Structure 1
Amino acid sequence: MNVLVFRTNINSAQRVHQAACRLCKLKGICRWSVDLEDCDCVLRIEAETVAEVDVIRVMQKAGLKCEVLG
């Protein structure tokens, strides 16, 4: 199991919904969450086969900012 962590602009319920609509289309995600209280609006994904570039791509298609949190 891989844990992927991203800095995002997912800072509202509406943006969480936008993210959910995109993330559900990616195969291999076991669990995900967004910390709306964190200043980086951290998106944490537990996945078997999903690559960071795939997550970034689908988030950007949804109009959301997303970058790997190092």
Structure 2
Amino acid sequence: MVEVFKTNVQNHSDAERLVAELSKKNSILKINFDLNDCDNVLRIEAKKINPLEIIELMNSKGFQCEVIL
């Protein structure tokens, strides 16, 4: 399963910190940010994804995040 999010993450150090935090979730297989995309895309591949959980984690770290449909 793959979920794609629009974020306001601007730099690679923040992206790396968030990847480390998100990687703690057992079901996540692959995470990457595309900061060259106008939506600063966060793409997550996992066995099971709860988008609200990802959004809440991102918000708790001070970042905006929403699912791209």
Counterpart of 1:33, as a letter, is N
User: Which shows bigger deviation, 2-11 or 12-21?
Assistant: 12-21
Question: Residues 29 and 46 of structure 1 are in contact (CA less than 8 Å); yes or no, is this contact kept in structure 2?
Answer: yes
What secondary structure, in the 3-state scheme, does the structure 1 residue paired with 2:38 have?
A: coil
What secondary structure, in the 3-state scheme, does the structure 2 residue paired with 1:30 have?
A: strand
Matched, 1:27 2:26: yes
Unaligned regions of 5+ residues in structure 1, if any? none
Q: Distance in 2 between matches of 1:69 and 1:57?
A: 16
Counterpart of 2:53, as a letter, is D
* TM-score (norm: length of structure 1): 0.88
| Alignment correspondent of 1:62 | 61
Unaligned regions of 5+ residues in structure 2, if any? none
User: Which shows bigger deviation, 34-43 or 22-31?
Assistant: 22-31
RMSD (Å), alpha carbons: 1.1
- Aligned-pair identity (%): 36
* TM-score (norm: length of structure 2): 0.89
Q: Stretches of 4+ moved more than 6 A in 1? A: none
1:17 shift after superposition: 2.6
What secondary structure, in the 3-state scheme, does the structure 1 residue paired with 2:43 have?
A: strand
Question: Residues 19 and 32 of structure 2 are in contact (CA less than 8 Å); yes or no, is this contact kept in structure 1?
Answer: no
